[in-house]
Amino acid sequence: MSMMDPASLAMQMVMIQRQPFDIQYANQQAMYQAQLDAWKDIDSAFSSFSSALENMNKADNSFVKNSATPSEEGYINATASGSARHGSYDLFVKQLAQAQQEAITLKGEDLPTEGVVTIDIAGSKEPLVIDFGEFNKDGDKTITDLADYIEEFDEGISASVVRSGDEVSLILSSSETGEENSFSLSFDNSLGEYFHPPKTLTEAQDAIVMIGGEDGLEIRNSSNTIDDAISGVTLELTKAHEPNDKPLTLVIGGDSEASTEAVEEFVDAYNELMNTILKHTMTDYQIENDDGDNDDDSVKFTKAGVLASDSTARSLKGMLNNIARGQFDEGTLYSIGIEANRDGTLKIDSERFEQALAETPEKIDAIFFGDNGALTALEKAIEPYTGSANSGNNLLKGRQESLQGNIDRVEDKKEQLDYRMEKTYNRYLRQYTAMQQTMMQMESTGSMFMF
């Protein structure tokens, strides 16, 4: 009679009992994990879209782009905002703004131990007073120490030391250009034996540009960057004209290519979010009945999403769809050439968009950037899902936490199953061991009657 193996038989009985539970728990965990991964993917897509909206919806932003083109290079760099009026302007750069710079040359290496130097800085409440009786009372300060002392004052003036042969000079410079940032120096008479009189290296000077030619309207500015001398235009002056030079012509016009690119960035960001949602919510029926012949730019899905039956996930698509097809202060997205595909993604009808750009550019910005515009509507709509500071909530994170809780509970059930199966195994092991011992006793008893 062959010997039975109690351990093997006990394990076989346990495997038969636990197999349905193992399959059930594995399927549950796989389902919950797939759903959790899908929600994480959607959460990431919402985060990216929220950041894109924030970057787009800045105070001075515009999808209507203008160009500013000078007839000659080298004199100015110019940029035009969406609010700039189209036209041309003759510009003559009379002078560039510059910072004041003074050189004070020492007659020797030693600094005085008495006397006062006063530096009056335009726009500063208090002058910088250098009392050498205090600053150099021990007679051990150097010209570098003096430069550091002036630097620490930090009121619109900088100091450095220049050595040329045997000469040592203290160079004082305005931190900013323009006459309003000039400074003046005054010395006690006693300091003449230590310092040569200051030498002006550059005078404080405003930038001057003439609109209309050399004898036109003067525009003066402390900086070489001039904002809104021409409404909506920023000028950066880089070189001055010589007297009697021909002025350059600055042409302000629409930049349809840049405008289209700006709107394409919005459409791409929106579609990336929508396609992520579609990937996880498409049903088999939708896939089978998607003829989509006219939506060549739509993504084609071949597999149903794990959130196809999730009402929260489906509501996201509906929410975005309603906004994309909605009415804003100055019209709809469709009215400016931005159309919705059947799956909810967007596309640009270039011909109609360029027509809107040429005829009613202000309408484009009103639809996107108005108080009740598309960008504001989208920001408000996604707020509960992304958990911004204003909403105090985050539905996407809530769904993820719920699914993670389900996964953890299945893991607890698996641990409990392991505990029960261990007890079951031990019970079967005792039973089969007792059976084995009984059979061995019977076999031993039977052999006594064999001759």
Complete DSSP assignment for 215-276: TSEEEEESSSEEESSSTTEEEEE--PPPTTPPPEEEEEEE-HHHHHHHHHHHHHHHHHHHHH
Q: Do residues 418 and 349 touch, judged by C-beta distance below 8 A? A: no
**Residue type for position 264:** E
The mean per-residue pLDDT over the stretch 23-42 comes to: 93
On whether both 76 and 219 belong to a single domain, the answer is: yes
- Is residue 101 a contact partner of residue 225, using CB atoms and an 8 Å limit? no
Q: Are residues 269 and 392 in the same domain?
A: yes
Q: What is the pLDDT of residue 389?
A: 43
When pLDDT is averaged across residues 87-105 and rounded to a whole number, the result is 97
The predicted pLDDT at position 438 comes to: 83
pLDDT at 292 over 60: no
Confidence of residue 393 (pLDDT cuts 50, 70, 90): low
For residues 387 and 273, state if they share a domain: yes
Position 59 scores a pLDDT of 57
Q: What pLDDT is attached to residue 446?
A: 63
Q: Which residue range forms the structural domain that includes residue 105?
A: 101-202
Region 175-183 average pLDDT: 94
Is the same domain home to 235 and 278? no
Mean local confidence (pLDDT), 286-308: 70
Residue 436 falls within a domain, yes or no? no
- Name the DSSP letter for residue 336: G
Is residue 198, in this structure, part of any structural domain at all? yes
What pLDDT is recorded for position 293?
44
Three-class SS state of 100: coil
Residues 6+ positions from 305 with CB-CB distance below 8 Å: 38, 278, 279, 280, 281, 282, 283, 313
Sorting pLDDT into bands at 50, 70 and 90, what band is 3?
low
- The single-letter code of the amino acid at 338 is I
* pLDDT tens column, 242-274: 999 999 999 999 999 999 999 999 999 999 999
pLDDT of residue 192 exceeding 90 = no
235 in a domain, yes or no?
A: yes
* Predicted confidence band of residue 74 (pLDDT cuts 50, 70, 90): very high
Residue whose C-alpha is closest to residue 63's, from 319, 336, 323: 336
In this structure, the answer to whether residues 343 and 267 fall within a common structural domain is yes
Sheet with 157-164, edge to edge strand ranges:
157-164, 167-174, 101-105, 199-202
Residue partners of 108: CB distance under 8 A and separation at least 6: 194
The answer to whether 222 and 207 have CB atoms below 8 angstroms apart is: yes
- Indicate the number of domains in the chain: 3
Choose one of 134, 167, 202: the last residue of a domain: 202
Which residue, of 139, 173, 202, is where some domain finishes?
A: 202
The whole-angstrom separation of Cα 215 and Cα 205 is: 19
Q: Beta partners for 375?
A: none
HEC assignment per residue over 345-363: CEEECHHHHHHHHHHCHHH
- Asked if residue 365 and residue 292 are part of one domain, the reply reads yes
210 within some domain:
yes
Residues 81 and 210 in one domain: yes
Residues 301 and 344 in one domain: yes
Q: What is the pLDDT of residues 210-231, one digit of tens each?
A: 999 999 999 999 999 999 899 9
Residue 21 falls inside a structural domain? no
Q: What percent of the chain has pLDDT over 90?
A: 63
Task: Express each pLDDT in 320-368 by its tens digit.
Answer: 999 999 999 889 999 999 999 988 999 999 999 999 998 998 899 999 9
417 domain-assigned: no
Residue type at position 311: S
Place 448 in a pLDDT band, splitting at 50, 70 and 90.
low
- pLDDT number for residue 441: 80
Pairing assessment for the beta strands 327-328 and 101-105 based on DSSP bridges = unpaired
pTM: 0.70
- Identify whether residues 280 and 364 lie together within a single domain: yes
From residue 44, give the alpha-carbon distance in Å to each of 267, 307, 313, 344: 18, 16, 14, 19
Residue 212 domain-assigned (yes or no): yes
Identify whether residues 315 and 268 lie together within a single domain. Answer: yes
Residues 233 and 289 in one domain: no
Tokens of 260: 């289209």
Residue 236 inside a domain? The answer is yes
Three-class DSSP category at 84:
coil
Strand partners, 77: 236
Q: What is the DSSP letter of 52?
A: H
| CA distance linking residue 446 with residue 440, whole number of Å | 10
Query: Residue 222's Cα: distance from chain center in Å?
Result: 32
Please list the alpha-helical segments (H only) found in 57-179: 132-135, 143-153
pLDDT, residue 230, reads 93
Residue with more model confidence, 32 or 449: 32
Could you tell me the two tokens for 382?
Answer: 């996604």
230 and 107 within one domain: no
Q: Give percent above pLDDT 70 in the chain.
A: 94
Average pLDDT over residues 36-41: 94
pLDDT of 103 above 80: yes
